């Protein structure tokens, strides 16, 4: 699966990705995916989702716990283009991209140790 997200592109300064996850939207995600290298975790969530709220502190800390991992997150209710493009039917939905390829997709809640294990296999 090699997604291209249609929509208006706009530059976004990520800054130091080691400070936490970066919030993205319909227009900023395509540019970031083109410019970032390495392993990227994309966390697609809904603000009202209890599972998403429970996972958010872990997602926000991931770049500090796993050097080299870039974490992007988006509220799919505020970015409906991402919801449609990635075919999000439940929240959260997580993609792990390494280089040009998407290596994993996780639909729905996943225990933190299981996500850690899946990430460890790809880093």
Per-residue pLDDT of the chain (123 residues; tens, 9 = 90+): 334 333 322 323 344 444 689 999 998 988 888 888 899 999 999 999 999 999 999 999 999 999 889 999 999 999 999 998 899 999 999 999 998 899 999 999 999 999 999 998 887
Report whether 70 contacts 33 (CB < 8 A).
Answer: no
Alpha-helical runs (H) found in 9-105: 28-35, 50-65, 80-85
Q: Report pLDDT for 121.
A: 81
Instruction: Return the number of other C-beta atoms located less than 10 Å from residue 118's C-beta.
Output: 16
Entry pTM: 0.83
Q: Report pLDDT for 19.
A: 65
Instruction: Return the number of other C-beta atoms located less than 10 Å from residue 5's C-beta.
Output: 17
Q: Report pLDDT for 97.
A: 94
Query: Could you tell me the two tokens for 15?
Result: 């800054």
For the domain spanning 17-122, the CATH number is 3.40.30.10
């Amino acid at each position: 699966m090699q997604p291209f997200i249609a929509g208006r592109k706009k530059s976004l300064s990520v800054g130091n990705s080691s400070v936490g996850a970066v919030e993205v939207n319909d227009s900023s995600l395509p540019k970031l995916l083109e410019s970032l290298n390495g392993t990227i975790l994309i966390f697609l969530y809904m603000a009202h989702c209890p599972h998403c709220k429970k996972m958010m502190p872990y997602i926000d800390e991931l770049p500090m716990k796993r050097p080299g991992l870039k974490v992007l997150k988006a509220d799919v209710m505020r970015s409906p283009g991402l919801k449609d493009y990635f075919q999000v039917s439940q929240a959260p939905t997580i993609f792990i991209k390494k280089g040009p390829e998407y290596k994993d997709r996780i639909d729905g809640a996943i225990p933190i140790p299981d996500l850690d294990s899946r990430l460890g296999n790809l880093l």
